Amino acid sequence: MDTKKGMIITLTAGIFWGFSGACGQYIFDNFHIDAAYLTSIRLLCGGIILCVLGFFRERQKMTDIWKTRSSALLLLVYSLTGIMFCQLSYMKTISYTNSGTATILQYLGPALIMIISCFLARRLPRPKEALAVVLAVLGIFFIATHGNIQNMVINPLGLSWGLWSAVALAVYTMLPRPIIEKFGSIVVIGYGMLIGGIVLCLSCRIWNAQITVDIHFLLAFAAIIIFGTVLPFTIYMVGVRLCGPVKASMLASIEPVSATVFMVVWLRESFHFFDFIGFSLIFATVFLLAKKDGLPAEASRKDGCSL
């Protein structure tokens, strides 16, 4: 019973993450806000909420993480190179392409993690891992060209930011493991979002932003914070506890499917047959790598990276 409940909860979290990506696309399409502005506000609000939650649940750990120089330094590096860059590159990709494409391109991250893991372990990829890399490359080819090597159908800047978001996801996943194991996800991600949000607000000079705010903007932005940050992050952790990290990571991979469905049904975005092929190929890499004998399960999930 607990396993079934955990599966439902995890699927819900993945759907929420996909919905939040579609909300981001809605804001870009209708309000023409710069991705850096939206990301900075999003990180700041999400960080404040998670830090408040952290002080209620993990008060001691919220202070202990700053007492060790190595932990504090790793947290600061992770906040900027992991969370802030991951969020910014993801939002930039949405602004140049769409939420479905941005989400699936970021799911190239597990393949990059596998390559890095093989390099660090000084070993060649296993057959299954090599197949995953081939599928990922083919997926990018079909999304970018629709099968015609002489025709680039995706915005080059969108493709570039999408590939950077996959790199950022790899950093986001691998860098903070020591401090997450010691202090917990809420503490690390809460502080990471808060620090990243403050730094990005200052660097993009958020006070100069020209944003036309109405009820539709506020509702979409609130949905990003609630359904893309606090709620799915919290219930995903419950799902991991109930059904295990491997099963949870695979179930939550419904996120790109969810983002694409909302993109097509709600935002009326066109969806080409070759996009479907590319999405399917990249999506298949997650299932190939999210196994006990492959990558760690957390490598296939963002644990809130597309918040």
* Nearest of 92, 38, 17 to residue 262 by alpha carbon: 17
Distance CA 168, CA 84 (A): 9
Q: Which residue has the tokens 């809130």?
A: 304
Distance CA 253, CA 207 (A): 36
Residues of the chain with pLDDT under 50: 292-301, 303-304, 307
pLDDT digits (tens, 9 = 90+) for 183-240: 988 999 999 999 999 999 999 999 888 888 899 999 999 999 988 877 887 788 788 7
Would you state the pLDDT for residue 307? Answer: 47
Would you state the pLDDT for residue 246? Answer: 67
Would you state the pLDDT for residue 305? Answer: 52
Q: Are 139 and 100 in contact (CB under 8 A)?
A: no
**End-to-end C-alpha distance for the chain, whole angstroms:** 29
DSSP class per residue in 227-264: IIIIHHHHHHHHHHHHH-HHHHHHHGGGHHHHHHHHHH
Q: What is the pTM of this model?
A: 0.89
Distance CA 303, CA 197 (A): 18
Would you state the pLDDT for residue 250? Answer: 75
Domain spans in the chain, listed from the N-terminal domain onward:
33-218+274-300
Would you state the pLDDT for residue 1? Answer: 65
Would you state the pLDDT for residue 59? Answer: 93
Would you state the pLDDT for residue 304? Answer: 47
Would you state the pLDDT for residue 294? Answer: 43
